[in-house]
Structure 1
Amino acid sequence: MIDPAALPALHASHGGIWLRDGSSTQAVAKGNAIGRAAETPVLLLNAPLTGQRLGYPDLNGLDLLELWAFVHPARFLVPTAKGLAEALGLERPTAEADIPALLQSATAALLSILEGSDWAEREGGWTSAQSLHRLRWPWSPLVAPRIRRPAEAERWLFTRLPEWDEAPPRPAARSIALQEEAVLSRLSDLTGAQAEARPGQRAYAAAAVEAFLPRAHRDQPNMLLAEAGTGIGKTLGYLAPASLWATQAQGTVWISTYTKALQRQLDRESLRLFPDPATAARRVVVRKGRENYLCLLNLEDALQGGFAGRAAILAQLVARWAAYSKDGDMVGGDLPGWLPTLFRRNGSTALTDRRGECIYAGCPHYRKCFIERSARASAEADIVIANHALVMINAARGRETGQRPQRIVFDEGHHLFDAADATFSVALSGHEAIELRRWIMGPEGSSRGRRRGLAARLSDLASYDEEGGDAIRAAADAARALPADEWLKRIVAGEPFGPVEQLLAAVRGTVYARAADTGEADAGYGLETELAEPDGALVEAAQDAALALDALLRPLARLAKRLEAVVEDAPDWLDGAARARIEGAIASLGWRRDLITAWLALLARIGGPADPDYVDWLTVDRVEGREYDIGVHRHWLDPTRPLAETVLKPAHGVLVTSATLKGGGDWSNAESRSGAAHLARGAQRFEAASPFDYPSRAEVLIVTDIKRGDIAALSGAYARLIEAAGGGTLGLFTAIRRLRAVHARIADRLARGGLPLYAQHVDPMDTGTLIDIFRDDPRASLLGTDALRDGVDVPGQSLRLVVMEGVPWSKPTVLHAARRLAGGGAAYDDRLIRARLAQAFGRLIRRAEDSGSFVILSAAMPSRLLSAFPPGTPIRRVTLDEAIIAVSAHSRAGIGGGAALRHQDDESGTHDLEQR
């Protein structure tokens, strides 16, 4: 067998390139490193990232992350040298030049696990290794010989996964009134006898009882708006009454979040409620949209030849993971976030149900389906951890009416407005229309894959029911009016085909004609214009497209009626599995009919009267000058209106909570953006200020001598501030282009000082992985955009400086202009900006011992917005040089010098891994 020590190992970063061949490590030039990697397989850690550092994105080799995914599927790993060393119990490298030697040692350690008798993930390993060998996986010559062939056939994946069982409908929850004393007693149990007393948390838990009282009137839920500052402990504060109500009422509480990070945190906190993992898995269920879960039928197709090349290798590694996964969640679950990026996301999206083509009980894996198992488990659970989008979509589409959420906790409630805005909006675009065509017609021409049209999915109905078969055929004929493959090329060439493509061509012409007048046409990014005073060509195209869509809607409605009739008639062939499949088809048809109806209402607006409840506009979507979609859009002017009608009013109790619910303003802001303003009874209010000592632990520095638009000065400011803090910096940008420009200018400089820099939209890694790396290394810094402003929880010294490139003004879009006009003009803008500043500042201090600086690189920061920061926080306007001195002093005071930083580096990684 090949000796891992004999394999060359390569490491590349912004600080340099090192190659270890045999027992010696040398710094090498970029060209030599690329040539050596091309000649013979070399050991790498994260090949896409290493290739980017070398300027050779197609770099391949023996990636240790792929080996880890095979040996330890579904196990967490920070994908860095430090993370790998800690996970394997190896000595951490003290310098980057030591990393190639670590790669050799880690390879030997991982391969030795395959030969040991205590390999926990042995089952399925031999079968998977043989499949990967046939696919010429680079690791196969080292892996396959080390796995002994099992004496008996392995139970692997499809035979290993458990089946779910049907259960009778759960009775309605009992009407009970929680006692405050019992809630506080449950809170004490959750926090532990030795926990520090938190008066704010106890007051919060007592106030949350309001959301669990029996409601007095229909369509008038007991609603509580609760702003609880960072450090109050609101998670356990609402879990105490929620879990107690679930037990006493025998009902389910839905806890809805906006970010996947909080979902994972809540899942971990559930072990406080149910210390036994098996009990916790049964009583607490995480729910997400279907597109997040592995589709076993898609995976089977990929394993049987549907994928080729690197995508086929990814499918094998995903199959290894699926056999050990907790719930099959591919996005934010226990599938390593870095795994799909190793394959340039080649094939990963095709393994989920993103096209709505599930055949339900017609699938051979239906009884083992991760999605179905999760949905059924949630019906019996005490706590369902979901997200805002899922809660709203299920309500809007009438899904799961038998278990409609009656008690809902909206954590991260300041995002309710944005989530409702996305859920209840409509877009008639090229991408949306062609997906509808494919859903109806299935594969056309040379299309490959498992995509199946209506006729294939409902073939037994077509053969049984002549009218149903006629409706399927009529729908397929009508769908030919929708855009087909290469629709965008035809439109750009001035040769649109069919009424919907004609409409999109007219939309494109109108956008370019009007956007050119604003000077934006050459910017290279998306263009838009309001839908006002349309010309004759656009009106005529809209009318023709509406006729085509109406002709499609009719057979779909007829088909839905026939399916309902089949279920009622119950023919001989309609067993339980067939009934479930037809009911699933009825649901899918329902929401696509709703989609077409919404499109028709949108098209009726073109040339007709404006509807004051909506904002309509036209777009040409582009990335760096390349067009990728064209569309007509409609959003509610106030999306909390449908939120209140479909989600809030049917509920019995709703708790909306956040550390920044008021957004630095007053309660009217929270009421208008949560939907409470549309309830006859309104909402109760609760407020608890953060217990943290912001005057002594934090400061806000407004730098006044950085000229707006000066990329060189902006880059220099970021570099100097990160150096002053010794890393541990979160840099926030409002434009991806500026983020990339700053990163390109400063990454090498910081690396030479031992300060790694990572960035969204630059490094080939998902956001969750970037945050894991940032959290694990106190000397690392991370640059990002809005997703990091709202979704990062990094306590301790890994985050001690937040830098914003400027005031986060709203983009002057058509939608924003309409809402600004309706919401009070400049006052509306100020409310939004204060909320964003409050969220960004909230990243800095996550626990009592944290400290740090918040820097805004803008002389134009208005004083009226400073109320976004906690009362008493020192706020100063300073020059960059003064800011450097202040950040350096604050960092030294906070971490106690370099020795303390190194100690933190030693301790934090293990702590965080244990927490996860």
Structure 2
Amino acid sequence: MLPYPALHASHGGIWIADDSGTRPIGRGEAIRIAADTPVILLNAPLVAQRLGFAELSGLDLLELYAFLFPARFMVPTPKGLARVAGIAVPGSDAEVAGFLRAAAAALLDVTKGDWPEREGAWSAAQNLAKLRWPWAPIVGTRLTRPATAERWLFSKLPEWSEGAPRPAPRTITLGAEETGARLAHLTGSLAEERPGQRAFAGAAIEAFGPRMVRDAPNLVLAEAGTGIGKTLGYLAPASLWAEKAGGAVWVSTYTKALQRQLSHETARLFPDPALRRLKVVTRKGRENYLCLLNLEDALQGGFAGRAAVLAQLVARWAAYSADGDMVGGDLPGWLTTLFRRAGSTALTDRRGECVYAGCPHYRKCFIERAGRASVEADIVIANHALVMVNAARGRELSTRPTRYVFDEGHHLFDAADMMFSTALTGQETIELRRWILGPESGGRGRRRGLAARLSDVASYDEAGAQAIADAVKAAGALAADGWLQRLADGQPFGPVETLLAAVRGLTYARAESDGDAGYGLETELAEPDPALVEAAGPAAHALDALVRPLVALGRRLEAVLADAPDWMDAPARARIEGAIASLGWRAETVASWLALLARIGGPAAEQFVDWLIVNRIEGRDYDVGLLRHWLDPSKPFAEIVLRPAHGALVTSATLRGGGDWEVAEARTGAQHLIRAGTRFEAASPFDYASQAEVLIVTDVKRGDLGGLANAYARLAVASGGGMLGLFTAIRRLRAVHTRIADRLAREGLPLYAQHVDPIDTGTLVDIFRDDHHASLLGTDALRDGVDVPGESLRLVVMEGVPWPKPSVLHAARRLANGGSAYDDRIVRARLAQAFGRLIRRADDRGVFVLLSAAMPSRLLTAFPPGVPVARVTLDEAISRVRRLPSVAVVGQEAGEDA
């Protein structure tokens, strides 16, 4: 047992454990002990929040686990820690502090022998000791210096290799019989017969057939209810086509949770892990992957303090990571939150500054490795945003996919809305300025401007050098550091800041709500005032002066490639090709800004919605600008992604969103194609009439936060936990959480909340799934992306009807799409998604509660046919919830007052 006390704080109380035993203590004493003495903790930021002591630090067991077992996941709770430490789970909150001391000793016992991640541990411990990491002295005395030098990160990582271009896929036709046989192989001989799954797989075959008309892909729209087994249903024909045609099928999702699930399901296709790594590749945007050059800079002094400790732990992880994915990969999601995200974003390439082959780690780059691996793969698991980015401006044109599967297809509209939008804001312009100019204040780091990144080209090509110089000069007109304060002081500098000042002034003048009360202000770009009109001209002139040298530079780089000078080896060519792609993207961005500025003072563009925004948080501006979105973003999606494809399957459990097929076609871009898509529908096999019910509570008054909190608390206690509480506003979520957290803790029911607890959303769901008595509060991300089968989720509670926010963009789309009927379609889709969290398998049972007497009857079609719906009082709802089977209620029903 370590000679340090352990501290545990929850909503139920605070305890300290030392050699004399465990005792409860007050908040003040706990803060004093933590400030004066190294204490053992589990998730220091969470404990700090519950103590109200932001500066809390200590011996965090999560950091120790990340050091000892990099690239291994652990649910960051006492139960999860007990599982990996191989010791008994504490029986109550009062036992946790003593348990933490025993768990620390159990984890450290691994250092007595060899364990899979031993290599590199001694070197990392020495580096962490210099950074005063609290665990370093303890770990360091238990590790012996290896007899031979350890292979450290950059020598340990494997290199990728170039291969011959992959031939175009062969033209083949899949048969129903062979597809059925592949499906049977994937499901296993002992699996129950699923007629809906077989029918789904049979319908999906059409998406993999030969294309007969140019620009007319074989499109299949398939709504497959929960429980059909659509993942294996489409993997069967997809894997068969990839095998026979010699091509890659891109399976695109919207949520990281489904990406992980898909990766696990492919083990049925390729049980051998080594073969699976070759045949199945997960792809994400480059901002998700660790940048080795950024990491090297951090390890060599680019980071300081806690950020430097994080860099060392990330380096430990990178040496054992399967793919270098920092967001949703094998890096535990809780690791970066332990450091309050200090430095984590700087370890990825979020600014488009990659120098490609100019990087000393290019041959070991996780991003490049994933890109090359996907060329030879059978199945590429991607996401909607990446698919659209690659189609619009990707460098991989020669290996462009011909077959897609879009799972979670009901989100294609939203993904396209973000991808094909334009944002001329202060944050965007300052990022472009930094990309071109590099550091302007002499700060540390590896950031380099355009001239430094292309210095060899500038020395070789005079016209290219002049284009770089012109771009650098023109970038001086963009927003610079301190722009927000200058706008607030009424002293903008340069034409772009003057434009942003005019936008801010007009938005404040016309916004309907009080700027200090909300999280943002917006107004239509209509009838602009003279200040905005006058500012638009100089800003447009400045942006035009910038886009011209960017385009010219791109052309000069293409000419340099064609000349192929003696100094241009393969790495230099790859770097210049990368620079051309990046320049093209930036030039397109500035061109879209110019098109938006041309709208000021002129007629509205029918296919776009333009408006002004001032984004705010807690009473402070953090961005200002002009936005442009497509009125129908499925149009560019159909043009750029679907039309060049040979086949695509778009599927979801709620593809029609509670409406008709015309809604599905409008939301997926099918209506913009020459050839209409084939429709397929398979109803869920679940018996909703006996497995679930919908209760609409009629006596919780709208706007009564105390009554709302009381309803959530009583329902959670009645169900013994297992509640997913969904909110349409973060403020109400926080208010309810504040009122009920301690109350539920007294009943032995843990409560977690998105936007409250310093834990990432994915980890919150993992914690919720792991504890049958926990409850979880959240917003949209939990409504759409939670897959928690079994007793852990047996009650879904929504605070009210999820009407769309009355924004400028929504108002325009509402007007163009049937008025109130458009609102109804959105609400039905949201209700269907929320209800879909409840029943995930045949033995699930649950109750869906809507705390709104104003629920219109016309929206009840959002729920599956057969599910019973009743309008009841809160008391009656609680009585019904208490009758849920197979639920051990921890405490008695809470009192009436929240």
TM-score (norm 1): 0.97
Cα shift at 1:185: 0.2
- Asked if structure 1 preserves the Cα contact closer than 8 Å seen for 2:291 and 2:347, the reply is yes
Mapped to 1, the partners of 2:141 and 2:668 lie a distance apart of: 59
Alignment of 1:270-309 (within 5 A): 270-309=266-305
Match of 1:56 in 2: 53
1:330 to 318, 326, 329: 326
Structure 2 residue identity aligned to 1:337: G
Mapped to 2, the partners of 1:519 and 1:765 lie a distance apart of: 31
Answer yes or no: is 1:794 the counterpart of 2:788: yes
Match of 2:887 in 1: 895
Report the CA distance shift for 1:61/1:898 in structure 2 as closer, same or farther (over 3 A). closer
Mapped to 1, the partners of 2:309 and 2:484 lie a distance apart of: 32
Alignment of 1:119-134 (within 5 A): 119-134=115-130
1:110 to 83, 107, 111: 107
Cα RMSD, aligned residues only? 0.9
Cα shift at 1:855: 0.3
- Asked if structure 1 preserves the Cα contact closer than 8 Å seen for 2:492 and 2:498, the reply is yes
Structure 2 residue identity aligned to 1:587: A
List per-residue Cα deviations over 1:850-881 (Å, max 9, x = no partner). 01000000000000000000001010000111
SS in 2 for 1:32: helix
Greater shift after overlay, 534-543 or 810-819? Answer: 534-543
Answer yes or no: is 1:529 the counterpart of 2:523: yes
Cα shift at 1:371: 0.0
Mapped to 1, the partners of 2:537 and 2:214 lie a distance apart of: 42
Match of 1:905 in 2: none
- Asked if structure 2 preserves the Cα contact closer than 8 Å seen for 1:47 and 1:60, the reply is yes
- Asked if structure 1 preserves the Cα contact closer than 8 Å seen for 2:516 and 2:618, the reply is no
Mapped to 2, the partners of 1:214 and 1:653 lie a distance apart of: 8
- Asked if structure 1 preserves the Cα contact closer than 8 Å seen for 2:720 and 2:887, the reply is no
Cα shift at 1:566: 0.7
- Asked if structure 2 preserves the Cα contact closer than 8 Å seen for 1:303 and 1:315, the reply is yes
Gaps of 5+ in 2: 892-898
SS in 2 for 1:271: coil
1:463 to 441, 459, 472: 459
Structure 1 residue identity aligned to 2:391: A
2:834 to 824, 840, 856: 840
Alignment of 1:341-380 (within 5 A): 341-380=337-376
Structure 1 residue identity aligned to 2:121: G
Mapped to 2, the partners of 1:468 and 1:219 lie a distance apart of: 38
Mapped to 2, the partners of 1:859 and 1:120 lie a distance apart of: 57
Mapped to 1, the partners of 2:331 and 2:158 lie a distance apart of: 19
Mapped to 1, the partners of 2:485 and 2:53 lie a distance apart of: 30
Cα shift at 1:524: 3.0
Cα shift at 1:556: 1.0
Cα shift at 1:894: 4.2
Cα shift at 1:895: 3.5
- Asked if structure 1 preserves the Cα contact closer than 8 Å seen for 2:718 and 2:889, the reply is no
Alignment of 1:872-911 (within 5 A): 872-889=866-883, 891=884, 893-895=885-887
- Asked if structure 2 preserves the Cα contact closer than 8 Å seen for 1:524 and 1:626, the reply is no
Match of 2:12 in 1: 15
Mapped to 2, the partners of 1:279 and 1:520 lie a distance apart of: 59
Mapped to 1, the partners of 2:509 and 2:528 lie a distance apart of: 12
Match of 1:387 in 2: 383
Mapped to 2, the partners of 1:206 and 1:510 lie a distance apart of: 56
Report the CA distance shift for 1:645/1:163 in structure 2 as closer, same or farther (over 3 A). same
- Asked if structure 1 preserves the Cα contact closer than 8 Å seen for 2:41 and 2:60, the reply is yes
Greater shift after overlay, 688-697 or 98-107? Answer: 98-107
Structure 2 residue identity aligned to 1:497: F
Mapped to 1, the partners of 2:586 and 2:51 lie a distance apart of: 47
Mapped to 2, the partners of 1:894 and 1:221 lie a distance apart of: 49
Mapped to 1, the partners of 2:463 and 2:860 lie a distance apart of: 67
Match of 1:538 in 2: 532
Match of 2:695 in 1: 701
Answer yes or no: is 1:209 the counterpart of 2:231: no
Mapped to 2, the partners of 1:777 and 1:207 lie a distance apart of: 39
Mapped to 1, the partners of 2:472 and 2:865 lie a distance apart of: 63
Cα shift at 1:463: 1.5
Cα shift at 1:89: 1.2
Mapped to 2, the partners of 1:708 and 1:297 lie a distance apart of: 53
- Asked if structure 2 preserves the Cα contact closer than 8 Å seen for 1:526 and 1:620, the reply is yes
Mapped to 2, the partners of 1:35 and 1:690 lie a distance apart of: 57
Alignment of 1:416-565 (within 5 A): 416-515=412-511, 518-565=512-559
Cα shift at 1:262: 0.2
Alignment of 1:857-876 (within 5 A): 857-876=851-870
Mapped to 1, the partners of 2:815 and 2:552 lie a distance apart of: 43
List per-residue Cα deviations over 1:450-495 (Å, max 9, x = no partner). 1111011011111122221111111111000000001000001000
- Asked if structure 2 preserves the Cα contact closer than 8 Å seen for 1:362 and 1:581, the reply is yes
Match of 1:903 in 2: none
Structure 2 residue identity aligned to 1:459: S
Cα shift at 1:523: 1.9
SS in 2 for 1:168: coil
2:594 to 600, 606, 627: 600
Structure 2 residue identity aligned to 1:541: A
- Asked if structure 1 preserves the Cα contact closer than 8 Å seen for 2:747 and 2:890, the reply is no
Alignment of 1:568-607 (within 5 A): 568-607=562-601
Cα shift at 1:608: 1.1
- Asked if structure 1 preserves the Cα contact closer than 8 Å seen for 2:513 and 2:521, the reply is no
Alignment of 1:18-167 (within 5 A): 18-117=15-114, 119-167=115-163
TM-score (norm 2): 0.99
Structure 2 residue identity aligned to 1:706: V
Cα shift at 1:305: 0.3
Cα shift at 1:898: 7.0
Cα shift at 1:686: 0.4
Answer yes or no: is 1:631 the counterpart of 2:625: yes
Match of 1:226 in 2: 222
Mapped to 2, the partners of 1:71 and 1:825 lie a distance apart of: 58
Mapped to 1, the partners of 2:275 and 2:152 lie a distance apart of: 25
The sequence identity of aligned pairs, in percent, is 72
Mapped to 2, the partners of 1:420 and 1:235 lie a distance apart of: 23
Mapped to 2, the partners of 1:31 and 1:179 lie a distance apart of: 71
Matched pairs, number: 891
Cα shift at 1:97: 1.1
Match of 2:763 in 1: 769
Mapped to 2, the partners of 1:366 and 1:287 lie a distance apart of: 18
Structure 2 residue identity aligned to 1:469: A
Mapped to 2, the partners of 1:624 and 1:63 lie a distance apart of: 30
- Asked if structure 1 preserves the Cα contact closer than 8 Å seen for 2:748 and 2:890, the reply is no
Cα shift at 1:222: 0.3
Match of 2:335 in 1: 339
Cα shift at 1:447: 2.9
SS in 2 for 1:330: coil
Mapped to 1, the partners of 2:199 and 2:763 lie a distance apart of: 36
SS in 1 for 2:716: helix
Cα shift at 1:896: 7.1
SS in 2 for 1:18: strand
- Asked if structure 2 preserves the Cα contact closer than 8 Å seen for 1:852 and 1:894, the reply is no
Answer yes or no: is 1:257 the counterpart of 2:280: no
Match of 1:912 in 2: none
Report the CA distance shift for 1:319/1:398 in structure 2 as closer, same or farther (over 3 A). closer
Cα shift at 1:882: 0.6
Alignment of 1:747-826 (within 5 A): 747-826=741-820
Runs of 4+ in 1 over 6 A off after TM superposition: 896-899
Mapped to 2, the partners of 1:559 and 1:245 lie a distance apart of: 42
Structure 2 residue identity aligned to 1:807: V
List per-residue Cα deviations over 1:253-279 (Å, max 9, x = no partner). 000000000000000011000000010
2:242 to 242, 246, 253: 246
Mapped to 1, the partners of 2:111 and 2:446 lie a distance apart of: 35
Structure 2 residue identity aligned to 1:650: P
Alignment of 1:183-198 (within 5 A): 183-198=179-194
- Asked if structure 2 preserves the Cα contact closer than 8 Å seen for 1:850 and 1:894, the reply is no
Match of 1:615 in 2: 609
